[in-house]
Amino acid sequence: MHFSKRFNFCPACGSSGFVADSEKSCRCTSCNFVYFINASAAVAVFIFNEKGQLLVCERGKDPAKGSWDLPGGFVDDDETAEQAVVREIKEELGVEISHCTYLFSFPNRYEYSGLTIPTLDLFFKCTVIDTTQIQAADDVAACHFVSLNEINTDMFGFESIRNGVVKFISSQM
């Protein structure tokens, strides 16, 4: 659901005159407060083992619970994308990154709590210190390595992740 349909009251003055002003903003007709909804930054990480297989994770929570995903998550306030990669990999997999390279980005729509949140997913290729120590944690239910020629992109729950995996695999062929 678009945020202008979800929020009926101005967060500044409480007026019920909080109305859509543009595709990505709402304005209060009482106090003129304007709220913009912009893309939230998120990171997604390609990690490979020594056999050249890609690490895929099973989402443990909604949205898209049970579907495949790449490890990653939202960039926190006052954090760089690179810091978010390090934090998310530690939280979700329990391992440290030894090298990380930015690759590309894709826009996404993240459905959560009845709200459609625009995101910008930043893709990285990273090397972890020891892939044998990877353990699913946080919101990852399980993870395993898959050969690139055995990847079924329909298993990924988010369009941006599917697009990113397709782009990455096609660049490797």
Collapse the DSSP code of 145 into the 3-class scheme (helix H, G, I; strand E, B; otherwise coil) and give the result.
Answer: strand
> Could you tell me the CA-to-CA distances from 106 to 53, 109, 165 in Å, in that order?
23, 10, 11
In a shared domain, residues 29 and 93? no
Structural domain containing residue 28:
3-36
In a shared domain, residues 114 and 99? yes
In a shared domain, residues 63 and 114? yes
**pLDDT tens digits in sequence order for the chain, 173 residues long:** 677 778 889 999 999 999 999 988 999 999 999 999 899 999 999 999 999 999 999 999 999 999 999 999 999 999 999 999 999 999 999 999 999 999 999 999 988 888 888 999 999 999 999 999 999 999 999 999 999 999 999 999 999 999 999 999 999 87
The model's pTM is: 0.91
Please identify which residue in the block is written with the tokens 């391992």. 95
In a shared domain, residues 82 and 125? yes
In a shared domain, residues 9 and 53? no
In a shared domain, residues 24 and 47? no
In a shared domain, residues 59 and 20? no
**Alpha carbons 11 and 16: distance in angstroms, whole number:** 10
The structural domain count of the chain equals 2
In a shared domain, residues 22 and 91? no
**Alpha carbons 80 and 98: distance in angstroms, whole number:** 17
Domain holding 56: CATH number?
Answer: 3.90.79.10
| β-pair partners for 99 | 127
Token pair of 140 as six digits: 């990852």
In a shared domain, residues 85 and 147? yes
Q: Would you give the distance in Å from CA 91 to the centre of its chain?
A: 14
